[in-house]
Amino acid sequence: MATVEPHRVRAGRGTELLLLVLALAIGVGAYALVGLGTSDEVPPDVLGYGAGLAALAVALHLVLRWRAPYADPVILPATVALNGIGLAMIYRIDFAYELRDKANGFAGRQLMWTAIAVGLAAIVLVVLRDHRTLRRFTYTAMVVALGLLALPLMPVIGRSINGARIWVYFGGVGMQPAEFAKLALAVFFAGYLVTHRDTLALAGSKFLGLQLPRARDLGPILVVWACSIAVLVLEKDLGTSLLIFGLFVAMLYLATERVSWVVIGLLMFVGGAMVAATAFAHVGARFDVWLHALDPEIFDRAPGGSGQLVRGLFGMASGGLFGTGWGDGRPDLVPYAESDFIVASLGEELGLTGLLAILMLYAVLTQRGMRAAIGVRDGFGKLLAGGLAFVVAWQCFVVVGGVTRLIPLTGLTTPFLAYGGSSLLANWIIVALLLRISNDARRPAPAARGLRPDEPLPDDLLDDVPDEPDDAVPVRVSARGEHPVGAEPDEHPTERIGRLS
């Protein structure tokens, strides 16, 4: 004996606003504390800064109320908090550089990029009314992604910085096209896998209790593997290569539920990376740094030494459990403290407690993405949301793992925290897409299905119907072309219901 009661879906916009207040307090509080820590006074423009940040966040909140009222209430606050913490840390490192006459105005530019990125996210939310529209661009996305990945190899615009050729310069503005390529790839993989997953899930031979896929279905994974190895060889960037391949393997697993794909993928990547490590000095150096970071000769090696990594570790160690406090550490001693090593900088000033809170925010963000993937009703949306949520978590794992010496250091950016316009733009677009998909997932019952033309309408649509005798057979009253309740106009009915048992 039991009563089944569904939860009433709350749109959650009010909750979101409350959490946003907290998130903004964290961002602005960090800014004020940086001022206190470095120069013993709250920065004079803290009110203006706070108002600007709040305006951005509230603007996006209003766009959500307008265009995606059922979007997940936690995604936006978590993102705003992460972005605010990143801004404060970049401002703090700028301050330290100024003391050493190496001022570079990173903070101002990052603030500008934040504003642009939030604006872009709002545009995505307004323009993209339904994520299923993206499925039409499956193969366009593939071409775009390959183009973006190849862009840094172009002779004039591509540029090699610190050994990795992942930058493109237009005029004076540099960007990392790989950050946008990951978005296009997620769209392509989702569109491709949703049509081909049934084949890819077919069982082949069994080996050591693992159900292997059929050999002839290995084509797609081989192609993506070749692409990621090409990135590794031609652009000498382990991070992007790992990102692409990880994304594909994860989405393949989401689509087919076969662990064997993950095992095969890991083996292929580890094999490829081992070969690359022996063949290319640049990649091999990363492995040396990882395995023998504390050896004096590796530490002192002129290019590609472990100095950065070890200083980062010492920074985090001096932060301890509760950190030195905003503005009281020396994160600027680590090269690239504002981008690749911002996690180490945060670990130093906020300590393990603060760093774990930040990682929890990422976990919450990823969980919400995955939840949207579970909730949304079309296969394409499921794969896209799952893939995008995974990319955030994966990037986070690769960066934090690299900085803490769990895996070899790679050149990926920490989403929302690290300095870098491309990364910020791409990740805010990811957040906008996740919000869009979660709106579709949480919207109360667009009815499990629409009504067939020969079905009667539910009576809340019929007003002032003349009384009928009780035993009359119901007749359909509406004219054709009206949309019955729950069945919204839908130009692309892709798997509205998903797989039925």
User: Closest approach of Cβ 448 to other proteins, in Å?
Assistant: 4
Near other proteins in 71-130, by CB under 8 A? 73-74, 77-78, 81
Tokens at residue 161, please? 């910085």
Q: Is the CB of 433 or the CB of 451 nearer to other proteins?
A: 451
Q: What is the 3-state secondary structure (H, E, C) of 58-73?
A: HHHHHHHHHHCCCCCC
Edge-to-edge strand ranges of the sheet holding 164-170: 158-161, 164-170, 173-175
Cα–Cα distance for residue pair 106/421, rounded to 1 Å: 11
Our finding on whether 441 is near other proteins (CB under 8 A) is yes
Nearer to other proteins, 367 or 404 (CB): 367
Q: Which is nearer to other proteins, 185 or 392 (CB)?
A: 392
- Select the residue interacting with other proteins from 11, 12, 148, 248 (CB under 8 A): 12
Minimal distance, residue 80 CB to other proteins, in Å: 10
Residues in 198-257 that interact with other proteins by CB under 8 A: none
Beta carbon of residue 436, minimum distance to other proteins (angstroms, whole number): 16
Segment 31 to 70, residues that bind other proteins, using CB under 8 A:
33, 36-37, 40
- State yes or no: residue 450 binds other proteins (CB under 8 A): no
When binding is defined by CB under 8 A, the residue of 216, 471, 481, 491 that contacts other proteins is: 471
Question: Within 13 A of 437's CA, how many CA atoms are on the CB side?
Answer: 33
Which stretch, 54-62, 204-212, 230-238, 322-330, contacts other proteins (CB under 8 A)?
322-330
CA distance 422 to 428: 10
Distance (Å, whole) CA 9 – CA 334: 47
Residues 451-470 that bind other proteins (CB under 8 A): 451, 455-460, 462, 465, 467-468, 470
What CA–CA distance (Å, rounded) separates 430 from 413?
Answer: 15
SS (H, E, C) 237-304: CHHHHHHHHHHHHHHHHHHHCCHHHHHHHHHHHHHHHHHHHHHCHHHHHHHHHHHCCCCHHHHHCCCC
Nearer to other proteins, 23 or 175 (CB): 23
Exposure on the CB side of residue 118, measured as CA atoms within 13 A: 24
Only one of the segments 14-22, 167-175, 241-249, 383-391 lies at the binding site for other proteins (rule: CB under 8 A); that segment is 14-22
Inter-residue contact 319 to 327 (CB < 8 Å): no
Q: Tell me, what DSSP letter sits at residue 497?
A: S
Cβ nearer to other proteins, comparing 329 with 421: 329
Residue 490 binds other proteins, judged by CB under 8 A: no
- Asked if 420 is part of the footprint of other proteins (rule: CB under 8 A), the reply reads no
Residue with Cβ nearer other proteins (312 or 351): 351
> Among the candidate windows 26-34, 265-273, 298-306, 420-428, which touches other proteins by CB under 8 A?
26-34
| Cα–Cα distance for residue pair 463/473, rounded to 1 Å | 18
In the shown chain, the binding pattern of residues 341 to 380 toward other proteins, with x for contact by CB under 8 A and - for none, equals ---------xx-xx--xx-xx--x--xx--x--xxxx---
Question: Quick one: which of 147, 320, 474, 493 contacts other proteins (CB under 8 A)?
Answer: 474
Whether the Cβ atoms of residue 115 and residue 87 lie closer than 8 Å to each other: no
Quick one: angle between helices 177-200 and 421-442, nearest 10? 40
Binding segment for other proteins (CB under 8 A), chosen from 253-261, 269-277, 323-331, 407-415, is: 323-331
Running DSSP on this structure, what letter comes out for residue 154? S
How many Å apart are CA 145 and CA 108, to the nearest integer? 30
